[in-house]
Amino acid sequence: MNPALSVIIFTTFSGLGYGLFIWLTASILIGTPPTNDQSVISIVLTFVLVSIGLISSTVHLGHPERAWRAFSQWRTSWLSREGIMSILTYGPMVFIGCNIYFNLGFDVLIKPMAILGLIGSIITVFTTSMIYASLKAIPAWHNKWVVIGYQAYAISSGGVAYIMVDGWQYYKVVIALLLFALLTKILTWVYIDKHRGQYKREDALGLPDFGKASPFEPAHSQKNYLQREMGYDLCPKRRGLMRWTALGCGFILPALLLYIGFPLTPIITLICLGGMMAERWLFFAEAEHVVRLYYDRDSI
Amino acid sequence: MTCLPEKTDKKLGLLIDLNICVGCHACAVSCKEWNTSGITGPMEDLKPYGDDPSGVWYNRIHSYEFKKEDEIDRTVYFPKSCLHCEDAPCVTVCPTGASLKRSEDGIVLVNPDVCIGCKLCSWACPYGAREYDTTGGVMQKCTLCVDKIYDETVSEERRVPSCVSTCPAGARHFGDFADPESNVSQLAAENDARDLFPEMETKPVNQYLPPRKREHHESKKLDHKVSTVKDALVKWAKLDFTG
Amino acid sequence: MTVENKISVKSTTCYMCACRCGINVHLKDGRIKYIEGNPDHPVNRGVLCAKGSAGIMQHYSPARLTAPLKRVGPRGSGEFEEISWDEAMSIATEKLRAVREKDPKRFAFFTGRDQSQALTGWFSAKFGTHNYAAHGGFCSVNMAAAGLYTIGGSFWEFGEPDWDRTKYFMMFGVAEDHDSNPIKKGIGKVKSRKDTKYISVNPIQTGYAAIADEWLGIRPGTDGLFVGALIAELLKSEQIDWEFLTRYTNSPWLVIDDPGSAKHGLFARDEAEKSLCYDLEKAAVTELIVGKSKPALIGSFKLSDGTKVVPAFQHIVEEFLGDGYELTKVEKETGIKAIDIERIAAEMAEVAFSEEIIIDQKWTDSYGNEHDQFIGRPVSFHAMRGIAAHKNGFETCRMIHLLQMLLGAIDGPGSFLYKPPFPRPTPPHKKNATASAAPGEVCRAEPLGFPSGPEDLAVDENGEPTRLDKAFSWEYPLAIHGMMHMSLHNAWAGDPYKVDVFMMYMANMAWNSSMNVKNAIKYMTDKDADTGDYKIPYIIYSDAFYSETVPYADLILPDTTYLERWDAISMLDRPIGTAEAAADSIRQPVLEPDRDVRPFQDVVLDLGARLGLPGMVDDDGNPLYPGGYSDYLVNHERAPGVGPLSGWRGEDGTSHGKGAPNKNQLKKYIENGCYWEFELDKAERYNRFANQAYLKTATKMGWMGSPDPIVLNVYNEMLQKFHLAADGHGDHQPPDHARARIKKYFNPVPTWYPVQEHVDNNSNEYPLSALTQRPAHMYHSWGGQNAWLRQLTSQNYLYINSKTATNQGISDLDWVWVRSPHGEVKVQVKYMEGVNPGTVWTWNAIGKRRGAWALDKNSPEFQKAFLLNHVISENLTTDDGEVRSNSDPVTGQGAWFDARVKIERADDQSEDLTSPMFEPVKFYDKHKRPDVLSYGFDKEQTFDQAERSLGKKEDL
Ligand SMILES: Nc1nc2c(c(=O)[nH]1)N[C@H]1C(S)=C(S)[C@@H](COP(=O)(O)OP(=O)(O)OC[C@H]3O[C@@H](n4cnc5c(=O)[nH]c(N)nc54)[C@H](O)[C@@H]3O)O[C@H]1N2
Ligand SMILES: Nc1nc2c(c(=O)[nH]1)N[C@H]1C(S)=C(S)[C@@H](COP(=O)(O)OP(=O)(O)OC[C@H]3O[C@@H](n4cnc5c(=O)[nH]c(N)nc54)[C@H](O)[C@@H]3O)O[C@H]1N2
Ligand code: SF4
Ligand code: SF4
Ligand code: SF4
Ligand code: SF4
Ligand code: SF4
Ligand SMILES: [Mo]
C-alpha cells in the first residue's frame, strides 16, 4: 500500500495521543495522578496529538466538508466507529482538562471520567486497528497482530510521552512495555513473512486448474489509480533499513535511553514518535493488497 | 445503507465467458463512453494528451499466459469490473453510506453526493473494482449501467449494460443470478462457472466461464490409397468421379 | 426526466476503421453523449469495437486541422500559414491544370484509407492520369488477387465463413482484419458451439488465436507448405469431393501438353472456344457439358489434331504428390509436427465428408441441372495478411483456395460463403488502364482493373512500366491494387519518370504506411542539385488531423471528421453486406464542423469542376454536382441506372440495384438507419458460382455483366500465358530482366517457394522473423491521438519467446537493438510464451513522431514506443541481382512480414529512449489540451434524483 503521509500521521499521532491519555487516566485510577499542571499538559498534548491525527486524516479526504457523514455508519464500518469513538473520547479528555484547569470542582466525576477516557482511548485505538485488520484484501493487516500491535505501540509510546510529562515514576513499566511492543512487532513481521504467498494469482482469476499464470499485456500502458494506491514497491534494502529504524527508534533506543536515565525526555519521545512513524510507514509499505495479483504479483 | 441487505430481490450481474473473450477492450471503452456522462460520471482522464495518460475505468481488460506442464501455453484475456458481491466488503467498510448495495437488484453503487473520498472501500475490494476520481474527490465504480438497464425509452433487448450490448464476440451476458431460469444462471450451471477469488469470501454475483479446456489431440491418420504421383495416375486414370 | 428529452439520436456509419459498422450517435446539447452500434445494421448488428466507442474522443481530438495550410518553412518543419479555401482551391487548380495540359500522368494521386475509391479513381481517369491507387497494394492484394483469379471471390471482407453452421474453422494469419466486428461475432458463435473446432494458424497466440481450440504457431512464410501437406494427405487418401471438382472447377478441362509450343499449358478449346474434356462414357474428347459429360480427371489423351492433352487435375496431382510437400520436410520448415498435420487432415476429411450439412431446397445450376438440396461441407477457412504480406502470399492463398475446392467447401452451408456482389468472373471483367491519356483527354479505362493476360499490362513498347508505381508491369503484372508503397520512391528517383504534383489522401506516408520511414522522408525533402527544387516538386495532402505526413505537404486540404460529412460505402467500391444479403450504406453529417474544413469528396468534385473535367461539369462548364458529394451520390450515374448507391433507386424509390436517380434517396437511407440491405432468396444463397437464379439476380442488380457461370480455377491458364510469354511466345514480351522472374513465379498450379529473405538469411546472420500485429483497439496511426485509446496502449514492446531471449542473455524489459540488413531500431523487449521461437513481434503503429498528433513532447508514444518499419525496406536486391520492390512478384503486394532481424542487447540500459529519434516537427497548438478531461460532466445531475427516476419514466 502506498505509505501516504496523511495516514501515517493520523495513526501515529493519535496512537501516541491516546497512549498518553491511557497513562494519565490509568494513573488517576490507580491513585497516582500527576500534578495539576502535569495533567493539563498531558491533556493538552493528547488533545493536540489526537487532533492533528484526525485533521490529517480529514484533509486528505476528497470531501473534508462532508466528513461529518462518516459518523453515520457505525453499525458496520470501523472507520465510522473510529470517528465516533475519537469524538466521544474527547468528552472525558476535555472534561478532565477543564475541570482541573478552570478548577470547576466536579472532582467526584474525575474517576468515572477517567474510566470512560481509559476505555474510550483503548477502544479508539482498537477501532483504528480494526480499520486495517478488517481488510481481508490486505493479508498483512488482516490478523490479530495488528490489533495487539496498535495497542502495544500506543501504550508504550504513550508511556514514553508520559514520562516526559510526569517524570520517571513508571519508567521500568514503560521499558517493559517497549520491549513487549518490540516483541509484538517482531512477531508481526514473523507472521507476515510466514504468510506471504498464501494467495495465488490463479485463485484471484478463479482459474486454479489451468496451470501457472503470468501477466501478458497490462490493461493499460501507464499506471492507474489502483497501482498508484496499492502497488507500492518496497525494495528489500529499504525494507531492512526501515525495519531497523522502526525497531531502533520506536522501541530499543527509547528503552535504552530510559534505562540509562537519559534526561532529555522530550528527545526520547521524539525518537520514539519517529520510530513509530517508520513503523507505520512500513506497515503500509509492506502490506500488499491482493489486487496486485491481477497486476504484477504471482502470490501475496 | 452500509449494512448489506439481508437478501436482494434480484441478483443482477454479468457472466463473462473467457472461452470467447478476445481481449478487444470494446467493453472497457463502451463502459467509459456510457458512464462518463452517466449517473456517477464524469470519469476523469488525467493528462489525456500528456506524458502519462491515465484515467478512471470501471472495466479493465487484463491478459495472462497460462503455462501447464505438457501443454502448449495459452493466452487468456480477462475483463474485470465490479462483481456486485453479495458480501461486499466495500459496502460495509464505508463510513458514510455512500457505498451501497441496492436491495431490489443487488447492484453496488457509490453515491457521489455523499462519498467523502476516504478510499477505504477501494482498499476493501479484493478485485480492484473501485477507482478514485481526483477531480470529483469521490470513489467510482461499475454501476452495472443502472441508468441504462432501466431506461424504458430503449427497446427491451437493448436494456443491458453498455459493455454487454457492445461486446463484439458475445462474451458478456447480463441477467439475474437469483433466477435459476435466467440466461446467466443457465449458462453458469452448464459451464463450470467460476467465482473470482473465493478465498475472499465476498460471494461475487458476477461469474466467469473458464476457457474451454484444450482437448487432448489423439493422433489420427487417413489411410493412404495412393502414395506417389505414379500410383495416383495409374489408379485414377480414366476413373469416373461423377458418381 | 428532462435530461433524456434533450437527447437526439442520429444514425450513420462508423469510420474509426474500415469495417463500416452502423452506429447510432446520441447527441445532447450539441455534444456527443454516446455512440452505440446500430442493432439492425448488417455489418455489426449492434455491437461496436473499442475504436468505435472512442469515436467521441476522435471527434474532439486536439490534433484536428482547422483550416487550409500553405507551407512556409522547409518541408518537414511544420511551418505553415493558414489560407482561405478559395486560395487553397485556386492553388490546387492551377497546379493541376498545368499538369493536365502538359502531361496528365505527371499527376500522381495516391489515397490511403479511402472509402470513396469509386470517386477518386474515376476522378483520376477523367483527369487523364492512371497514376492512381489506394493502399491495397501494400495491404492485402495477395488475398484479393488470389481469390478473384481463382474462385471469383476472396477472403478479406468479400466473403466469410458460414459462422452459424461451420463445424471446423481454420484461420490463417489474422489479428484483426477489415471485418473486425463480423469476425469477432463469428468467432464468438463458433466458440459457443461445443462441437465446432476452431484452429488458428499464426506464429503469435494473441486475440483470435488465444481462444482457438488449437493453436499452430507456424514459422512465418511457410503456410503454403502446411496447406500443401494437407492437400497431399487428402489426395493420398482420396478424401476429395470429386463431384464438386468435376462440376464446378476446371479440373476436368484438358490442358495442352506440348512443351515448347506457344500453346503448352493452355486449355484445349473447340472452335466455339468451349473447353473440352475427355468423356469416359463416349471415350472421346468432347465439349464439357456439366451434368452430362463423364469427364476424366486423370489420363493422357489426344486431340483430333494429335496434340497431347491431360486434364488440369493431373497437374494438381503432379504438384502435390511430388516430394515438395513431404511431411518430414514440412515439419522441419513450418515447425508443425507431422503427426499433427496428419491428424488435422483426418479431422478435416471427417467433418467434410461425414458431417455434411444438407439443406432441402430446390435450385437449378447454370447448366440446367435441377437439384433438391444444397450440400455443405462444413469446413471453413479465413486468411489475411499473415498470408498476404509475404512474397509467396499469392501462391499460398491460391493453395488455400485449392484446398477448399478439393474439399468441396466453397459457398456451401457451413463453408466459406461469398458476400454479394461476389462471386465475379475470374478475373472480373474490368480492365485496368494501360496508359495515361494525352493532354486534355480522359483515360480509356479506370486506373485499376484486372488484366487477363500480358496484353493488358501497363507497359510501353519496350515492355517498361507506364505507371509511376510500376503496377501492371512485367515486374508486378497482377498488381491490381497498385503499389502505393513504391510511389514516393519512384517519384523521387524519377524511375520510370518524374511527376509534378503528388497528391495524397488519408495516408500517413511519412510514417507508418511507408516501409522505410527514413527514406520516405528523404524522398519528400530531397532537392534536385541542379534546380534547387524538391525532387517531388509539389505535394498536396488531405488529412483531418496533424499527422506525421502533414508537415511534408506544400498544401494541406483539411478534411472533416467522419461525423461531419456525407459518405457512401458503395457497391462500386468495397462492398459491405453478408453472405445472405447485399448491402451498402452512407454516412450523414451528425454534427456541423466548427472549423474551416471541408469534406475531401466535396473538394475532389470541386477540383474536377474547376478543371472542367468531363463528368464533373455540364456542357456549359458549370459544376454538375454543385451540392457536393451528397448531390453526386444521388445523381451520378456510372452506367445508365447504376449509381454510387443501390437502394431506393428509380424516381419513386422503388427499384433496387439499378434505376433512375431518386432525389429522396438519401432521406430513404437515413430513415432506414443509413444502410440498404437486399436479402437473397433462399434458393440463391449457395453455390452461387453456378446458381442460375442467383446469377440472374446478380445480373439484374448490375453486379455481373451476364449470368454465365463462374468456373473455379484449380488450374490458372492466365498465369501460364505469362509463363509462355517469358518463354518467348506471343506478341507481348517481357524485357529480358523480367523473364526469369516470370518463369519462376507464374505457374498455373499453385506452388510454394521460400521467400527470399529466408533463403538469403539462412546463414543465421538474421535468424528471426519480425512481425507486426494490429491491436484491436487502435487503427494504425490515428488511434494514438485518442484520449481513451492511448491509455490502453501508449507504448509497445518487442515480444519475444522467453527461451529465445534467455538464450541470448536478454532479460524481460531490457532495451535491445533490432537490426536488419536495412536498418535498426531500439526497443524494449517483453517475454512471452505464446510466440513461435523464431519470431519477434510488436503492435503496429504505436510509435509516433515527436511533435505530431498534438501530443505532449514527452509522451510515451514518442519516447518509448517504436515502429518496426525502420527495419523494413521497400527495395531489395532480388535473387536475379536486380534491385526491385520488396513485394510479391505476381501482385506487387508489399511483403512487410518477410523482414528478418537479429537482436542485440543495448549497451546503455538506463537511457529509456527509443531510436531512431527524428527531429521533432513543429507542435500543433490550435486547440486547448486539458490536463484533466472530465468528458460528459453534468453539474445539474444529482445521484438521488437520477437513481430515484430509474425505471420510472412516466414523467417523461
Ligand atoms: N510495420 C508495418 N507497417 C504497416 C503495416 C504492417 O502490417 N506493418 N500495414 C500496412 C497497411 S496494410 C496499411 S493499410 C497501412 C495503413 O497506414 P495508413 O494508410 O497511413 O493509415 P493510418 O495511419 O490509419 O491513417 C492515415 C491518415 O489518415 C488520416 N485520417 C484519419 N481520418 C481521416 C479523415 O476523416 N479524413 C482524412 N482526410 N484523413 C483522415 C490520419 O490522420 C492519418 O494521417 O499501414 C501499413 N504499414
Ligand atoms: N483494430 C484494427 N483493425 C484493423 C486495422 C487496424 O489498424 N486496427 N487495420 C486494417 C487494415 S488496413 C488491414 S490491412 C487489416 C489487416 O488485418 P490482419 O490481416 O489481421 O493483419 P495484421 O494485424 O497485420 O495481422 C497479421 C497476422 O498474421 C500473422 N502472421 C504473420 N505472418 C504469418 C505467417 O507467415 N503465417 C501465418 N499463419 N500468420 C502470420 C500475425 O501474427 C498476425 O496475427 O486490418 C484492418 N483492421
Ligand atoms: S468486448 Fe467482449 S471480447 Fe472484447 S474484451 Fe470485452 S469481453 Fe472480451
Ligand atoms: S467487486 Fe469490489 S467493489 Fe464490487 S462489490 Fe465486490 S468488493 Fe465491492
Ligand atoms: S471513498 Fe466514499 S464510498 Fe468509499 S468508503 Fe469512503 S466514503 Fe464510502
Ligand atoms: S456494467 Fe456498465 S458500468 Fe459495469 S463494466 Fe459494464 S458498462 Fe461498465
Ligand atoms: S470495427 Fe469498430 S472502428 Fe471499425 S467500423 Fe466497426 S465499430 Fe467502427
Ligand atoms: Mo491495410
Q: Is the CB of C508 under 6 A from ligand 1?
A: yes
Q: Does C323 touch chain B (CB under 8 A)?
A: no
Q: Are strands C132-133 and C107-111 parallel, antiparallel or unpaired?
A: parallel
C903: CA distance to ligand 1 center in Å?
Answer: 27
State the best of B68, B96, B110, B212 to mutate against chain A, taking most chain A CBs within 10 Å: B96
Q: Is the CB of C471 under 6 A from ligand 7?
A: no
A219 vs chain C: nearest CA distance in angstroms? 6
Which pLDDT band holds residue C763 (cuts at 50, 70, 90)? low
| Residue C5: predicted pLDDT | 52
**pLDDT, averaged across chain A:** 95
> Are the Cβ atoms of B165 and C46 closer than 8 angstroms?
yes
Q: Does C242 touch chain B (CB under 8 A)?
A: yes
Q: Over the stretch A196-233, which tens digit does the pLDDT of each residue have?
A: 999 999 999 999 999 999 999 999 999 999 999 999 99
Query: Do C647 and C656 meet the contact criterion of CB atoms below 8 Å apart?
Result: yes
Helix intervals (H) in C648-747: 665-671, 692-701, 717-726, 736-745
Q: Over the stretch C529-543, which tens digit does the pLDDT of each residue have?
A: 999 999 999 999 999
Q: Does A143 touch chain B (CB under 8 A)?
A: no
Range C105-132 burial, b when 16+ CB lie within 10 A, else e:
bbbbbbbbbbbbbbbbbbbbbbbbbbbb
Out of A73, A135, A229, closest to residue B97 by CB: A73
Q: Is the dihedral of CA C186, C189, C195, C197 positive or negative?
A: positive
| pLDDT mean over C623-630 | 97
Q: Over the stretch C244-269, which tens digit does the pLDDT of each residue have?
A: 999 999 999 999 999 999 999 999 99
| Residue B240: predicted pLDDT | 87
A296 vs chain C: nearest CA distance in angstroms? 13
Output the residue whose Cα is nearest ligand 3's atom 3.
Answer: B21
Which pLDDT band holds residue C956 (cuts at 50, 70, 90)? very low
Beta carbons within 10 angstroms of residue C8's beta carbon: 12
pLDDT more than 70, % of chain C:
99
Q: Residue C568 and residue C586: Cα distance in Å, rounded?
A: 4
Q: Which of C627, C577, C575, C578 is nearest to C601 (CA)?
A: C627
The H-or-E segment that residue C633 falls in is: helix C629-635
Q: For C788, name the nearest residue in chain A, comparing CA atoms only.
A: A220
C137: CA distance to ligand 8 center in Å?
Answer: 9
In-domain check, residue A50: yes
C831 vs chain A: nearest CA distance in angstroms? 8
| Residue C946: predicted pLDDT | 81
Our CA dihedral for B90, B92, B93, B97, rounded to 10 degrees, sits at 100
- As for the ipTM of the complex, it is 0.96
Q: For A221, name the nearest residue in chain C, comparing CA atoms only.
A: C793
Query: Do C363 and C397 meet the contact criterion of CB atoms below 8 Å apart?
Result: no
CA dist list (Å): B242 to C52, C57, C241, C295, C851: 50, 60, 10, 8, 67
In-domain check, residue A299: no
The Cα angle at residue C570 between residues C569 and C571, in degrees rounded to 5: 135
The closest ligand to the CA of B110 turns out to be 5
Query: Do C734 and C725 meet the contact criterion of CB atoms below 8 Å apart?
Result: yes
In-domain check, residue A37: yes
Q: Residue C184 and residue C195: Cα distance in Å, rounded?
A: 19
Query: Do C34 and C26 meet the contact criterion of CB atoms below 8 Å apart?
Result: yes
Structural domains of chain B, with CATH: 12-209 (3.30.70.20)
Q: Residue C858 and residue C914: Cα distance in Å, rounded?
A: 12
Q: Residue B18 and residue B206: Cα distance in Å, rounded?
A: 13
Q: For A288, name the nearest residue in chain B, comparing CA atoms only.
A: B123
- The C-alpha cell at C593 is 464542423
Whether residue C437 is predicted with pLDDT greater than 50 in this model: the reply is yes
Whether residue C839 is predicted with pLDDT greater than 70 in this model: the reply is yes
| Residue B143: predicted pLDDT | 98
| pLDDT mean over C682-711 | 96
CA dist list (Å): A204 to A193, A298, B83, B212: 20, 10, 13, 19
Query: Do A248 and A274 meet the contact criterion of CB atoms below 8 Å apart?
Result: no
> Are the Cβ atoms of C793 and A221 closer than 8 angstroms?
yes
SS3 B33: helix
Q: Over the stretch B141-197, which tens digit does the pLDDT of each residue have?
A: 999 999 999 998 888 888 999 999 999 999 999 999 999 999 999 999 999 999 999
**pLDDT, averaged across chain B:** 95
SS3 C573: coil
CATH of the domain at A203: 1.20.1630.10
Q: Is the dihedral of CA C629, C632, C638, C642 positive or negative?
A: positive
Q: Which of C108, C61, C76 is nearest to C927 (CA)?
A: C61
Query: C 793-822 residues with CB below 8 A of A?
Result: 793-795
> Are the Cβ atoms of C791 and A220 closer than 8 angstroms?
yes
SS3 A207: coil
B52: CA distance to ligand 6 center in Å?
Answer: 25
Whether residue C194 is predicted with pLDDT greater than 50 in this model: the reply is yes
Q: Give the number of C-alpha atoms closer than 13 A to the C-alpha of residue C15, restricted to the C-beta side.
A: 23
Our CA dihedral for C298, C299, C300, C301, rounded to 10 degrees, sits at -100
In-domain check, residue A186: yes
Q: Over the stretch A121-140, which tens digit does the pLDDT of each residue have?
A: 999 999 999 999 999 999 99
Q: Return the partners of chain C (3 or more C-beta pairs < 8 Å).
A: A, B
- The C-alpha cell at A86 is 475519537
Q: Return the partners of chain B (3 or more C-beta pairs < 8 Å).
A: A, C
Phi, psi dihedrals of residue C145, rounded to the nearest 5°: -65, -50
Residues of chain A found within 8 Å of residue C790, distances taken between Cβ atoms: 221
Q: Give the number of C-alpha atoms closer than 13 A to the C-alpha of residue C116, restricted to the C-beta side.
A: 25
C791 vs chain A: nearest CA distance in angstroms? 6
C43: CA distance to ligand 7 center in Å?
Answer: 10
| pLDDT mean over C897-912 | 94
Q: Over the stretch C638-680, which tens digit does the pLDDT of each residue have?
A: 999 999 999 999 999 999 999 999 999 999 999 999 999 999 9
CA dist list (Å): C725 to C265, C450, C451, C730, C808: 12, 18, 14, 6, 49
Whether residue C761 is predicted with pLDDT greater than 90 in this model: the reply is no
Q: Residue C50 and residue B166: Cα distance in Å, rounded?
A: 9
B170: CA distance to ligand 3 center in Å?
Answer: 8
Query: Do C67 and C81 meet the contact criterion of CB atoms below 8 Å apart?
Result: no
> Are the Cβ atoms of C791 and A216 closer than 8 angstroms?
no
- Name the residue range of residue A15's domain: 5-294
Q: Which of B115, B27, C438 is nearest to A64 (CA)?
A: B115
| pLDDT mean over C838-847 | 97
Q: Is the dihedral of CA C251, C254, C255, C257 positive or negative?
A: positive
B174: CA distance to ligand 5 center in Å?
Answer: 26
**Which of C181, C206, C385, C403 gets mutated to test ligand 2 (max ligand atoms within 8 A of its CB)?**
C385
Residues of chain B found within 8 Å of residue A210, distances taken between Cβ atoms: 66, 68, 74, 76, 210-211
| pLDDT mean over C591-596 | 96
Whether residue C519 is predicted with pLDDT greater than 70 in this model: the reply is yes
In-domain check, residue A300: no
Whether residue C757 is predicted with pLDDT greater than 50 in this model: the reply is yes
Whether residue C900 is predicted with pLDDT greater than 70 in this model: the reply is yes
Q: Residue A281 and residue A284: Cα distance in Å, rounded?
A: 5
Total beta-carbon pairs less than 8 A apart between chain B and chain C? 315
| Residue C762: predicted pLDDT | 62
Whether residue C3 is predicted with pLDDT greater than 50 in this model: the reply is no
Q: Over the stretch A9-39, which tens digit does the pLDDT of each residue have?
A: 999 999 999 999 999 999 999 998 889 999 9
Helix intervals (H) in C706-859: 717-726, 736-745, 756-760, 789-792, 802-807
Q: Residue A25 and residue A96: Cα distance in Å, rounded?
A: 9
The Cα angle at residue C257 between residues C254 and C260, in degrees rounded to 5: 145
Beta carbons within 10 angstroms of residue B99's beta carbon: 31
Amino acid identity of residue A166, one-letter, is: D
SS3 B25: coil
Q: Is the CB of C841 under 6 A from ligand 1?
A: no
Name A119's Cβ contacts closer than 8 Å, sequence gap at least 6.
none
In-domain check, residue A157: yes
CB-count burial class (<10 Å; 0-12, 13-18, 19+) for C496: middle
Which pLDDT band holds residue C4 (cuts at 50, 70, 90)? very low
Q: Residue C347 and residue C897: Cα distance in Å, rounded?
A: 30
SS3 C411: coil
B147: CA distance to ligand 6 center in Å?
Answer: 11
State the distance between the two ends of chain A, measured CA to CA, in whole angstroms: 13
> Are the Cβ atoms of C860 and A221 closer than 8 angstroms?
yes
**Count of domains in chain A?**
1
Phi, psi dihedrals of residue C701, rounded to the nearest 5°: -75, -10
Which pLDDT band holds residue C955 (cuts at 50, 70, 90)? very low
> Are the Cβ atoms of A221 and C794 closer than 8 angstroms?
yes
**pLDDT, averaged across chain C:** 95
Whether residue C275 is predicted with pLDDT greater than 60 in this model: the reply is yes
Whether residue C801 is predicted with pLDDT greater than 90 in this model: the reply is yes
State the best of B21, B108, B118 to mutate against chain A, taking most chain A CBs within 10 Å: B118
Beta strands in chain B (DSSP E): 12-17, 45-46, 54-55, 59-67, 74-81, 99-101, 108-110, 130-133, 138-141, 172-176, 207-209
